[in-house]
Structure 1
Amino acid sequence: MAVLGVSQPTLSRAIQRLGPAVTTFKPQGERTPRYALLRPLPDGLPPRQRIYRVLRSGSIEPFADVEFLVGGATLERIGKLARLYEGLPPYMVFAAPSGFLGRQVAGQASRGQPSLPVSLKDWGDYHRVVYLFLHGTNTPGNLLYGELPVQQSLNLRQIVPTTVAEKLGHYDAMAAMLREASHGSSAGGEQPKFLARVEDAGHVIVKFARRGSRMAELLPLEHLALKALADVGVPAATTQLLASSEHVFLEVQRFDRVGPHGRLGMLSAGAVDDEFFGLRDTWSQFARRCAQAGYISAAHARLIDVMAAFSELIGNTDRHFENLSLLIGEDGEYAGVAPAYDILPMRYASIGGGVDPALRPITPQLGAVGAQPAVWLPAARAAEQFWSAVQTAELAAPISQPWRQLAETNRQVARDFVQPLLPDVPVGR
């Protein structure tokens, strides 16, 4: 009223004339109602939408009602609580397409949805909303965006999983179909991948690479790295390595899926940090902030520190904030750190244009982890196991002699680096 120079009755009449195009709400802790103009959405989508969630049991229930406002803000209503976001809620940003898989779904969605740009680079929040409420079915986490994705999810439950006998052939066919789109996509850490549901492992993400490529050499190392972390008590995604005459596949079980139909909530560290801190510095610093804020326990923060320390000891230089996640419980609260994933010696990954870095020894640094013996001990034990396995493991995709030689060098580098941090505790015990 002050800005427009109008009286309260004049404002009330304007709101009445606009009718359903205006929403009213009271943010938590405020007594005075606010008013906002709803934003028209393309393709006949109403600006008021409902989000559902899938429980561990597979049951589906309402999660929140959202309203999209002129200017780009989003109003979220959960029960009697109303919360206003300047843009999209963090769970929508997290669920929206990104990376290699995101580029694939963006291309597919744009063919049947003219309002969506072909290139994911041209997408904004406006397009993410359209995608989620028309196609947001098999997104990360446990949320379904609108009635159409709920129905699509129910339809997917009728699809029979791929059998073990058919799995490798199916994976080869999927890789061949995506081969042209995936050319050169490993630059920047975007490993070619696709989703599948298989008889023995359930819901999986399948990474693939052409035999003879640098990424085909790294997929077995990711398999061994995650196993090494699990063996020292750090939860890690379960993987299986497969190979055909043309491709190497790393099958990663989805930890946000439970059985054939259940799901778990999750958010990437990026989505959490952007919402509450806005720093995106290092995993360890993020862990400390989350522990201080009460989002995770000190024990879970230590798990993140071990992942970071282990990464230093194996040359994992790709520790961005989408490669770390937190789980969300069915009570809506943070439920700890998600199992480790995407941890491998990325210092050796292709940098694009067919350029592969030389197989030079790792150069670990103390970094933000600091001199914490309780962290470096399990990280050192995992690294010892990892580099030993690289030398000796017999896998579906064999590890070459140059890699085995590098593994011995790197094992010694890791030992020498960590020894001053653990002066009284032999790594091998």
Structure 2
Amino acid sequence: MTRRGLALVALAAVLVVAGCQAPVAGPAGGGPAPDGGPAGADRQPANITVQNGTLAVDPGLVFARVQTVAGTNVTPPERVRAFGNESDYGNASLGGGGLPPFQEAVGLKTGPVPNASDVGLQFAGQTSALGTVVVYAGPNATTDDVRLVVAHEFVHYVQFKQGRSAQLRQRVDTSTTDGSYVVRSLLEGPAVYTTDAYLERYTDNGTQNSPVYRAIAEALPPGHVGRYGNSQYAEGFEYVASRVDDPADIPRVYESPPTTSEQVIHNLTADEEPPVALDAAVEPAGGWREVGTDRLGEAFVRTTLAVGVTQERADRAAAGWGNDRLYVYRTPGQRTASYAWTFAWDDAGEAAEFERALRAYLDARGERRAGQWAIDDGLSARVLAPSERSTVLLLGNGSFVAGTDATVTVG
């Protein structure tokens, strides 16, 4: 039975400042300014109070118009909390802070985005399952920025009111990193798609939500953990755009959702390309005990390989993903864990392409010595190819890497 791969394995959801988010300080002492776009919405503006600050748009009008575009009819939130100061909001950086140990071990990069304001990262927001809507906008945020992020957050509010998150979790295994990616993608993607439709209908200046994530991807270096979080917005949007012609049709995406990041990336349903069977038997060096497992998925493989090879090569090498399973090991006397990351591929050619890219990735990270790699921070690595359709990456303590073997059966 697969167990959740501990906090040290699972990816923390990266808060992407731009897709889900925003307020900006409005006129001092005044009420909210009216929303832009054509006069007269299809629905009566809601009565929504702005707390803590002011907004450059009327949240009640934005909410009414979002519901018109989405074809929904839920009770509006009573209030929106607005922040114009980054320290008050608490997190307006992308991919900042530390990383869980496994992400550090595979070399993922972190840190704030250089010149974030140049790519529009002047706004952020979040909506909780309890209906709390919070928005932040920096001093350079425009009214268009605020309108975009408020609309995006209201889509999330509607999603929670309709139980979309719970609906996804009934169909997708969120005990894995890969499954969590799918759920986030199918919340963020529809929010981006609906926000684009709202902006297209009610503004005439060409502002859209979806280009923000392309700009973020270009601003972040390959291998940055923020790219993984950002891809949930970008790939989720592309998935929804390939499946529906109108925001009102989005509910059918939730009725038969993808279950892996591979399916999200390649616009597949759960039935079109399910994970292949992967049966791994890892034989660790003496004293090492398995403490957790996880499935990381194609999206995570892409991000990891890009630490050492180009993003384009990483994407190609990951495209033959059939399944993966990460095993986490610990032993008394060792402060850090060691890992066996096992892979199943669609065919032998895909496995060979991945192995070449994996070895190039390791060459970029460390020095190859006698069949294994010495990486900074005392890490060692070794690559196994137990069969023509499988690969194993051993990573961690030198004795673990040197003394561990594995067999993999791909069904």
TM-score after normalising by structure 2: 0.30
Instruction: Give the structure with higher Rg (CA).
Output: 1
* Larger RCO of the pair (alpha carbons < 8 Å, separation 6+): 2
